[in-house]
Structure 1
Amino acid sequence: MMKKAVFLLLLFAGVGLTNQSFAQYTTGIGLRAGVTNGLTVKHFIGQEAALEGILHARWGGIMVTGLYEVHKDIRDVRGLSWFFGGGAHLGTWNSGSRNRPPWADPNESYSVFGLDGIIGLDYAFQDAPINLSLDWKPAINLGYYNYGWDEVALSIRFVF
């Protein structure tokens, strides 16, 4: 997990970054595909700040994740930015699922909550109302069921 973070940071450090950023769109709604699949809504609340909500399936249950993200333009590619941020998740896991967490009792379901981080690339097409986003999102549950994971996902959104 740490190797992925170092790789992404080195990747971003090697690309020309500016200190000024601007949102290419105000709101985007779409699909998120990766380790988990679901729905995503991203809304910019400022030139560099966005809120993202994710509703997705995980281990036979459903989770809601809310994130605060900071976006920075990549100078050499119009419409491309990198972003980082964090937030929290809340949901349930059905441990009777075939793909349950390794510690889970197959006869129980679990309510989970925890913290999430996110780092990724975001591209807004100039001539179409479409946005693509590729991110890495590590997460950890808090409370009795401490369990961490990470996922890489691609999101495609209709933007307006």
Structure 2
Amino acid sequence: MKMQIKVMLLTVVMLGAFLFSAPAQAQAARDGGKLGVGLGAGTVVAGLSLKKQLGGALAVQGVIGSWRGYGQHWHISGDAFGVAGDILLEQAPLASGQVLSLGWNYGAGAGVGLGGGSSVLLGVTGVLGLEFNFVPAPIDFVIEYRPGLYIGAGYGDSDLGLSFIDFTGHLRFWF
């Protein structure tokens, strides 16, 4: 029993040391002037993901690729094209260590999808992102929550959609 308490205490101390040590490398990979390039999904589109830090807390993010639908209507369409953009406000990291920095942001996004024929889908979303920034390499993995309003190319009986359950992600290399 005493050994278990010692191991648990040691684990908590080590985890605390990891979470509260704050190396500058993770933030330096995201500072103004840097560009993140990878794969990801945005409002109505999945494909090439780009993110640019504009300095301070402001960043822009865009995705160009295949129309993906939204929320429960998520799909990838090979005969459709989409483009999306977000304006994001980066926040102080929730935790930072020598291997991983956990950042977050919020903002707004918009996108348009053009389908085969005359299908068009427009979307406007809120964005709440959780960023896993790997310190040893300039790589981030992002998970985003995107509640939004969608107009056009209806699914079912309506050309107007409201989705409170829509998640996207990105995997990017920074340089």
| TM-score, length-scaled by structure 1 | 0.66
Bigger Rg, which one: 2
1:68 equivalent in alignment to 2:87:
yes
Rounded to whole Å, the distance in 1 between the matches of 2:123 and 2:114 is 12
The equivalent position to 2:35 in structure 1, one of 19, 27, 35, is: 27
Rounded to whole Å, the distance in 2 between the matches of 1:23 and 1:146 is 42
Query: Which structure has greater helix proportion?
Result: 2
Structure 1 match to 2:107: 85
AA aligned to 1:153 is T
1:159 equivalent in alignment to 2:168:
no
Q: Identify if the C-alpha distance between structure 1 residues 23 and 114 changes in structure 2 by more than 3 Å, giving closer, same or farther.
A: farther
AA aligned to 1:111 is V
1:147 equivalent in alignment to 2:161:
yes
1:112 equivalent in alignment to 2:121:
yes
1:51 equivalent in alignment to 2:34:
no
Rounded to whole Å, the distance in 2 between the matches of 1:53 and 1:64 is 7
Identical amino acids, percent of aligned pairs: 29
Rounded to whole Å, the distance in 1 between the matches of 2:102 and 2:50 is 18
Pairwise CA distance, 1:56: 3.7
1:127 equivalent in alignment to 2:149:
no
AA aligned to 1:29 is V
Residue deviations 1:65-89 (CA, integer Å, cap 9, x gap): 1100011122432432111110211
Paired residues of 1:73 and 1:80 also in contact (CA < 8 A) = no
Pairwise CA distance, 1:129: 1.9
| TM-score, length-scaled by structure 2 | 0.61
Q: Identify if the C-alpha distance between structure 1 residues 82 and 44 changes in structure 2 by more than 3 Å, giving closer, same or farther.
A: same
AA aligned to 1:40 is S
Rounded to whole Å, the distance in 1 between the matches of 2:87 and 2:41 is 20
Q: Which segments of 5 or more consecutive residues in structure 2 lack a partner in the other structure?
A: 1-26, 70-76, 154-158
Rounded to whole Å, the distance in 1 between the matches of 2:172 and 2:138 is 8
Equivalenced residue count is 127
Q: Identify if the C-alpha distance between structure 1 residues 142 and 159 changes in structure 2 by more than 3 Å, giving closer, same or farther.
A: same
